[in-house]
Amino acid sequence: MPIRAEAATLTDPSLPPLLDQLRSRDPDVLVPLPYVVAERRRLKDEYLEPAFQSFVTWAANNKGALKRWLAFHNEIRVSPGAISHIRPNSVFEITALLDAPEFQRMRARLKLSADDLMYAFDIVLRYPLYGELAGSDSYFLAHPIREQQGAPIITVEPGQAPTIPISFSQALAVMAPSMTLDEYTSFLHEARGVVRDRQIHRLQAGAIDRETTREVASRLGLPARLSKVGRTVGIVAGIIGIAGAAPAVAPAAAIAGGLISIVSAAWTGSVGRAPGRVKWLRWALEWDLERQASDAR
Give 173 or 21, the one with higher predicted confidence: 173
Give 30 or 56, the one with higher predicted confidence: 56
pLDDT on residue 191? 92
| pLDDT score of 199 more than 70 | yes
Q: What is the mean pLDDT of residues 247-272?
A: 48
pLDDT on residue 216? 92
Strands 2-4 and 35-37: parallel
Which run of H or of E encompasses 60?
Answer: helix 45-60
| pLDDT score of 51 more than 80 | yes
Least confident stretch, 61-70, 99-108, 206-215, 245-254? 245-254
Instruction: Give the residues across from 35 on adjacent strands.
Output: 2
| pLDDT score of 11 more than 70 | no
Q: What is the pLDDT of residues 113-129, one digit of tens each?
A: 888 898 889 888 888 78
pLDDT on residue 249? 42
Q: Of 215, 182, 237, give the one whose Cα is nearest residue 289.
A: 215
Question: In the 8-state DSSP scheme, what is residue 179?
Answer: -
Q: What is the mean pLDDT of residues 2-28?
A: 69
Maximum average pLDDT range among 20-24, 60-64, 94-98? 60-64
